[in-house]
Structure 1
Amino acid sequence: MPPVIPAPAPAPAPAPRRRPSWAGRDFRVQTAAAFVSGLGSAAAPVAAAFAVLGAGGSAGDVGWVTAARLLPAVVFVLLGGALADRLPRHRVMVAANVGSAAAQAAFAVLVLTGHPQLWQMLALSAAAGTAQAFYMPAAQGVVLAAVDPADAGRAFAFYRLALNAAQIGGTALGGVLVAAVGPGWVLAADAAGFALAAGLRTLLRVPPPARAREASANLARELLEGWQEFASRRWLWAVVLQFAVVMACVLATESVYGPVVAAQRLGGARPWGLALAAQGVGMVAGGLLMLRWRPRRILLAGNWGVLAFALPAAALAASAPVPVLAGAMLLSGVGTEVFGVNWMVALQQEIPAERMARVSAYDWLGSLVLSPVGTAVAGPVAVWTGLTGALWAAAGVTAALALLAVAVPEVRQLRRAQPGVVRAGHPGGVPEPAAVTPG
């Protein structure tokens, strides 16, 4: 009788696929909420610009409406940062999202029911900007605190990929929908997105900061602590000063000059929306790059990305056809992610968690402080120098500042920290910052 050969043991069932260590619950909720609100917010600037133009406004009026949204962000962002380090950050974000939803809904009603007056659009833009001032530092603190430092670069790249996917869909749909159904419905969609994001953020489980229990906490003292943290790092304030001017140039180009050039030379909202969508595609490409690339000198790599910010203004100044403009926008999107991911890594690596929102507030303040001025004077500057001259100036200043920032030793030499060594003050520990050596 032949020997009985035992049947082979069944192969073990594959282990269930686990999420990466950086994809915790709060990180997933915040990413989903940011994606939802980002869809509408990406389309809203196109809708607002064409709402102003459709009501008989000029390029200068578009600049004033944009500035009205930015100015309250500058005025209130420090208060927002102090509150976000004192209160549960998700509650601050929910309240800010509700305020943004209300302002955008009112703007939509005005556009859909008649001819909005300039003062009405200015007031509602200012209300939305005030809400954003309280949202931005809190959101930055939640994302940075929810990430495992060992995988910070990958996590931040993924988070920004989600934002940029929303940017692509929102800008592409924004241009198409503004042309198809008018800007009012796009603004209404933005309001709905903010409302849904507020609901999602109620699911966050952010513990109250320890400082919330300090009855003697003084708001002025807390702002001073944040300033001391900010001013003591030359790499930090040097880049923020750079971005104060760069963002003014970029926002003037994308919020004022771009729509005007599109209306005059490119055929209206649709091609401009497609060009903005190409920028979103570039951001996704940059995010995919940053999922794998871990540059040793994080801010040196990031500032090379800033050079690409000058390309859209140069393409518009040169009266480039839509495909060339879209290519310039795509490359600027890649540069945005190369800078943005490395900047988030630097902040998480170097700034204590309990002061993160206040430092982020100074970061936002510096980056936005000249933006209202830039958008407000964009129209008069274009009248004085000509639209083409204003665009070439924006491109040249942006490129020059990108190169000047690299000349600062602390910017050029700040290195990615090695994993394994932790510093007190960060959730789960954060690698000790690498020394910045001269030369």
Structure 2
Amino acid sequence: MRQWLARSVMGSREFRTLWVSLIASVAGDQIFPVAVVVSLLNAGGDATTVGAVLASRWAALVLFGLLGGVWADRLPRRHVMLASQAFLCCVVTVGLSGVTSAWVLGGMVFLAGAAESFFRPAFQACLGSVLTPRQRPAGAALNAVSWRVGAIAGPGLGAFLVSTASVRAAFLAALGVFTLSLCALLRLREPAVVRTPRTTARREIAEGVREVWQRRWIGTVIVVTALQSMLTIAPVHVLLPVLAREDFGGDAFYGTSLALLSVGGLLGGIVSIVWKPRRSGLAGIAGLTVYGLVPLALWLPQTPWIACVCFALAGFGLEVFAVQWVVSLQREVPAERLARVTSLDWIAASALTPLGLVLTGPAGAVLGIAPVLTLAGLAGVVLPLTALLTSGTTYFRSKYRQNHTNAERRVEVVSLASHYDHQ
């Protein structure tokens, strides 16, 4: 049955279009920061500089995240995604000039984050509209696979290009895949979505917050994942390129580690196509805790293979969580407000992650790298487990089932009507 659902999802023209666009976009998202980080390090930057530049992406998500969700619910989501990818092409083009200024590179990362804050909510909401409720688990899993395919190709290609060719070649590759994503979206025919009457942006944001407030487990998971991003994932992203050069043999380990993270995620996505856990929340939270192994493994330079295994396991766990989380949000939140709830999820992480990125370098200078990695590992394990204390988290479900069932039926009717319109 699951295999049949997967085949039926891939039989959808609109889903295939989103599938191709996502692979290309994610590959660009992964190549671009590798080129930026290596440019900084080549110009003499340190962990503090890298953290500050990477933090500018999250600053953009904080500033534009809610607006991205509002406009993705107001406008055709295809138009929002097209504008985002076109803007990214313009941003990456600046890197072809060979710029090495931390201020300019930081500005590029900031603008890329702004584009992402509009693209992500629009994509997730559009994905929910092109699939029926029964197709969504397989669709989410297949998109997770596509995300990881792009994430595997991105760091690997980025590391290869900066090692064997030049940073400019990496920027050129990022421009190429963003252009491919843009061209794919031109073919998308977005189904009609039942939209509520337009009000002020402030009221529409409040409606998204209300959806989360009514389902306390959603808010709990959003807060916990945001804290884990700040205390665990951010320190890894800052220290990994530095430790790769100092303890693990060079930039190749940096790209390889990110690629292995994506390989594990690819396997997690494949497993999620056929696995439907009864306690989806428990499975997702368990997957999150695995990331805590990564920072603990990074202070063992004598055994790099342990770090590689941990990166792969962490990717597997993150993808299991991501699939269960996305499917649950699509099931629990009305389609016309889904983009706003998705943007709240992103903005929560965006608000805290920059603190982790900026403070990791100074904390490492004061406390030492090993204590910072140890604290990051403990936070990565303990924080997700606290989410299970909130009712509804174990199953990623709330008591508002009747309203959600009606919303699911409404979306399915719209999706089927759109399907027949296209015949």
Same fold (TM over 0.5): yes
1:357 aligns to 2:339 (yes or no):
yes
**Distance in 2, Cα, partners of 1:28 & 1:21:** 11
Q: Aligned to 1:319, what secondary structure does the other structure show?
A: coil
Equivalent of 2:132 in 135, 139, 148: 148
**Structure 1 Cα separation of the partners of residues 47 and 234 of structure 2:** 11
Once the two structures are TM-superposed, the CA of residue 287 in structure 1 deviates from its matched residue by 1.2
CA positional deviation for 1:45:
2.2
In 1, Cα distance between the equivalents of 2:343 and 2:336?
13
Question: 1:209 Cα deviation (Å)?
Answer: 4.4
- Whether 2:75 is the aligned partner of 1:87: answer yes
The structure carrying a bigger helix percent of its residues is 2
How far off its partner does 1:40 sit?
2.4
| 2:31/2:173 contact within 8 Å kept | no
Does residue 34 (structure 1) correspond to residue 27 (structure 2)? The answer is no
Q: Any conservation in 2 of the 1:140–1:357 contact (CA below 8 Å)?
A: yes
Structure 2 contact 232–379 (Cα < 8 Å) conserved: no
> Identity of paired residues, percent?
32
Contact 1:282 1:329 (8 Å CA) reproduced: yes
Aligned counterpart, 2:285: 303
The yes-or-no answer on 1:241 pairing with 2:223 is: yes
Q: Distance in 2 between matches of 1:189 and 1:416?
A: 44
CA gap 1:254/1:199 in 2 versus in 1, 3 angstroms: farther
1:198 aligns to 2:185 (yes or no): no
Instruction: Report runs of 4+ in structure 1 exceeding 6 Å deviation.
Output: none
> Does structure 1 residue 51 correspond to structure 2 residue 34?
no
1:315·1:324 contact (CA, 8 Å) conserved in 2?
yes
Corresponding residue number in structure 2 for 1:20: 7
| 1:267-416 matches, cutoff 5 A | 267-319=249-301, 321-414=303-396
Query: What are the ranges of 5 or more consecutive residues in structure 2 without an aligned counterpart?
Result: 415-423
1:144 and 1:348 in contact (8 A); partners too: yes
**Could you say which residue in structure 1 is the equivalent of 2:406?**
423
Question: Deviation digits for residues 131-182 of structure 1, max 9, x if unmatched?
Answer: 1111111111111222221132222111110111111122222222221113
For the aligned residue pairs, the C-alpha RMSD in angstroms reads: 2.2
CA contact 1:26–1:204 (8 Å) conserved in 2: yes
Q: In structure 2, what residue type is equivalent to 1:82? A: V
- Which digits, 9 at most, give the CA deviation of each residue in 1:196-226, with x for residues without a partner? 21121121111454438x4x52221111111
Please report how far the alpha carbon of residue 416 of structure 1 lies from its aligned counterpart in structure 2 after TM superposition: 10
Q: Does 1:120 align with 2:107?
A: no
Question: Structure 1: which 5+ residue stretches go unaligned?
Answer: 1-16, 431-439
Query: How far 1:251 moved relative to its partner?
Result: 3.7
Q: 1:18 to 1:59 in 2, by over 3 A?
A: closer
Measure the CA separation in 1 of the matches of 2:32 and 2:236: 13
**Which digits, 9 at most, give the CA deviation of each residue in 1:98-141, with x for residues without a partner?**
11111112123234xxxx22211121111111111111111111
Instruction: Report the Cα distance in structure 1 between the residues aligned to 2:83 and 2:171, rounded to whole angstroms.
Output: 19
**1:207–1:154 distance in 2 versus 1, CA, 3 Å:** closer
The residue type equivalent to 2:125 in the other structure is G
Alignment size in residue pairs: 406
Inter-partner Cα distance in structure 1 for 2:179 and 2:72: 20
Code of the aligned partner of 2:406? R
Match of 1:171 among 149, 155, 173: 155
TM-score (norm 1): 0.88
| Equivalent residue number for residue 223 of structure 1 | 205
Q: Structure 1 residues 349-358 or 263-272, which shifts more?
A: 263-272
Q: 1:188 is matched with which residue?
A: 172
Task: Say if 2:5 and 2:138, in contact at 8 Å, map to a contact too.
Answer: no
For normalisation by structure 2, the TM-score amounts to 0.91
